[in-house]
Amino acid sequence: MSISKEGFSVYPVIVPTKYSLRSFNFYLLEEAGSLSLIDAGINSEECWEYFMQTMNENGFTLHDLTRIIITHNHEDHVGLINRISSIKEIPLYAHQESIHRLKRDKGFFSLRIEFFDQLYREMGCGAAGEQQVQKLKDAVRKNEKNRIQTDIITFAEADRIAGLQVIETPGHSPDHVVLLHEQKKCLFAGDHLISHISSNALVEPDRDGERILTLVEYVDSLKKCLQLDVEILYPGHGELINNHKELITKRLHRIDEKAERILRLIQSGISTANQLAYTYYKGKYESQFPLVMSEIIGHLDYLETQHKVQKEVKDGVWHYYAYGKPIKKYEVR
> Distance between CA 231 and CA 245 in Å, rounded?
10
Phi first, then psi: what are they for 71, rounded to 5°?
Answer: -85, -30
Beta carbons of 225 and 262 less than 8 angstroms apart: no
> Distance between CA 13 and CA 187 in Å, rounded?
16
Predicted pLDDT of residue 329: 38
Beta carbons of 302 and 294 less than 8 angstroms apart: no
Q: Is the pLDDT of residue 328 over 50?
A: no
Q: Is the pLDDT of residue 126 over 80?
A: yes
Could you tell me which residues are beta bridge partners of residue 26? 13
Q: What angle do helix axes 289-305 and 244-267 make, rounded to 10 degrees?
A: 90
Same fold flag, 3-103+148-242 and 258-329: no
**32-51 residue pLDDT tens:** 999 999 999 999 999 999 99
**258-282 residue pLDDT tens:** 999 999 999 999 999 999 999 999 9
**169-186 residue pLDDT tens:** 999 999 999 999 999 999
Which whole number is the average pLDDT over 307-324?
A: 95
Could you tell me which residues are beta bridge partners of residue 320? 311
Average the pLDDT over each of 51-55, 85-89, 195-199, 329-333 and give the range with the smallest value: 329-333
Which whole number is the average pLDDT over 298-306?
A: 98
pLDDT class for 333, splitting at 50, 70, 90?
very low
> Distance between CA 252 and CA 29 in Å, rounded?
30
**94-124 residue pLDDT tens:** 999 999 999 999 999 999 999 999 999 999 9
Predicted pLDDT of residue 324: 73
Which among 34, 26, 41 is positioned nearest to 9, based on CA atoms?
A: 34
Which among 118, 127, 122, 244 is positioned nearest to 180, based on CA atoms?
A: 244
Predicted pLDDT of residue 323: 86
Q: Is the pLDDT of residue 210 over 80?
A: yes
pLDDT class for 55, splitting at 50, 70, 90?
very high
> Distance between CA 53 and CA 80 in Å, rounded?
14
DSSP 33-58: TEEEEE----SSHHHHHHHHHHHHHT
Q: What percent of the chain has pLDDT above 70?
A: 97
> Distance between CA 292 and CA 196 in Å, rounded?
19
pLDDT class for 1, splitting at 50, 70, 90?
low
Which among 313, 304, 319, 308 is positioned nearest to 272, based on CA atoms?
A: 319
Predicted pLDDT of residue 325: 63
> Distance between CA 312 and CA 320 in Å, rounded?
7
Predicted pLDDT of residue 5: 73
Q: How far is CA 280 from the centre of its chain?
A: 22
Using DSSP, state whether 279 is helix, strand or coil.
helix
Question: How far is the CA of 171 from the CAs of 72, 298, 306, in angstroms?
Answer: 11, 10, 18
Q: What angle do helix axes 244-267 and 273-281 make, rounded to 10 degrees?
A: 110
Predicted pLDDT of residue 6: 76
Q: Is the pLDDT of residue 332 over 70?
A: no
Predicted pLDDT of residue 331: 38
**Residue ranges of the domains in the chain?**
3-103+148-242, 106-141, 258-329
Report the run of H or E that residue 86 belongs to, with start and end.
helix 81-87
Q: Is the pLDDT of residue 3 over 90?
A: no
Q: Is the pLDDT of residue 254 over 90?
A: yes
> Distance between CA 113 and CA 136 in Å, rounded?
7
Q: Is the pLDDT of residue 217 over 80?
A: yes
> Which CATH architecture describes the domain 3-103+148-242?
4-Layer Sandwich (3.60)
**CATH level 3 topology of 258-329:** Arc Repressor Mutant, subunit A (1.10.10)
Using DSSP, state whether 106 is helix, strand or coil.
helix
> Distance between CA 20 and CA 15 in Å, rounded?
13
pLDDT class for 2, splitting at 50, 70, 90?
confident
Beta carbons of 3 and 9 less than 8 angstroms apart: yes
